Amino acid sequence: MSVKRRYYVFHEDDFTLSWIDKEVSKKISEYFVRNDFEEVNVDDLVKVMNEGIRNPNIDITIVFSHDVIPDKLLDNPSSPTPNSLFRRFLNVGHTIIWLGDVPGWYMGIGGEKKPLQPQPASIQNLIGIDRPLRTDERVVTAKPTVYGLLFGIKSWGGKRPHSLSVQSGFHMIPLAVGVDGVHGFICSPRQMLWGLSGLIRLYDFHLTLRTLTDEMLRSILNMALKATVWDELISLAKKFEMLRNEIDEKLGKKLDLIIKEVRKLRQNRSQNFKSEESCRRR
């Protein structure tokens, strides 16, 4: 029995942003819609997450094109708890992909962006990880780990590193690291040996039309679809095998035709030789 999978991208034209430019948010949404994701606004997002909690056997992945959490996903906007819709959605085994500014750093109330208070507890309650190790504007190179390379992730200049420590009951897989900490990761309340789910954090810097590349979009898509380089290699191997079989079959048919022609040629030569011998004897 196959598992039902559903893919969404959260985008709303008037909803606030932090490190993601408005044009970039739209570009991200359009890219994923072209790849068969359904675009949802804030109200739709609430419905999708509630449905995911009621139906944990459905595998739901949501790409956020906004780096600000809607207040409607929080149980207490001034100090959200682990009972928030955002966290409960992750708890049952679904996936959120987050880009740009720190997850949980800001919330959006209507068209306004506001910081969450108190930030350290809020971030931990929502995603199971402490606040960033630093909040200055220094940029360092975030290099992909072996896990990151599996999904085609390349290096970027990151600004908000975290430590490897997570809340009790959470698990982390680092995807990209710098000299100062972890810049990309998967953080999940579930043991990920049994499957990949949770909050996926990528590209912790200001995303503009200049800095967001097609390669980055493909990496995000790979993460959303859980498609690794191994999948591509296996697919290529299968295509090569099919091509080789096709070539072998065509070549085999041609060889058979060549052998038949050679045999005919030999028979004709033999017959001609016998006719010439008969004429000489006469």
Query: Do 138 and 191 have their domain in common?
Result: yes
182 and 172 in a single domain? The answer is yes
Q: What is the pLDDT of residues 151-161, one digit of tens each?
A: 999 999 999 99
Task: Examine the domain organization and report whether 66 and 188 are in the same domain.
Answer: yes
Q: What is the pLDDT of residues 179-205, one digit of tens each?
A: 999 999 999 988 765 568 999 999 999
**Structural domains in the chain (count):** 2
Mean per-residue pLDDT of the chain? 85
- Give the residue numbers spanning the domain of 240: 229-282
Identify whether the C-beta of residue 140 lies closer than 8 Å to the C-beta of residue 157.
Answer: yes
My answer on whether 249 and 219 are in the same domain is no
246 and 209 together in one domain? no
Are residue 222 and residue 86 in the same domain, yes or no?
yes
- Looking at 209, 227, 245, which one is the last position of a domain? 227
pLDDT in tens, 119-137: 667 888 899 998 899 989 9
The reported pLDDT for the residue numbered 46 is 97
Q: Are residues 276 and 151 in the same domain?
A: no
- Segment 221-227 mean pLDDT: 90
pLDDT of residue 234: 47
205 with 235, same domain?
A: no
Cα distance between residue 86 and residue 223, in whole Å: 19
Domain shared by 244 and 221, yes or no: no
Residues 51-97 have pLDDT tens digits of 999 998 999 999 999 999 999 999 988 889 999 999 999 999 999 99
> Residue 262 has what pLDDT?
63
CA atoms within 13 A on the CB side of 8: 24
Residue 236 pLDDT: 47
Q: Are residues 104 and 144 in the same domain?
A: yes
Last residue of a domain, one of 211, 227, 243: 227
190 shares its domain with 209: yes
Residue 81 three-state SS? coil
Convert 101-157 into a string of H (helix), E (strand) and C (coil).
Answer: CCCCCEEEECCEEEECCCHHHHHHHHHCECCCCCCCCCCEEEEECHHHHHCCCCCEE
CATH number, domain of 123, equals 3.40.50
Per-position b or e across 205-240, b if 16+ CB within 10 A of its CB: bbbeeeebeeebebbbbbbbbebbeeeeeeeeeeee
Please, which pLDDT band fits residue 241 given cuts at 50, 70 and 90?
low
| 159/174 same-domain check | yes
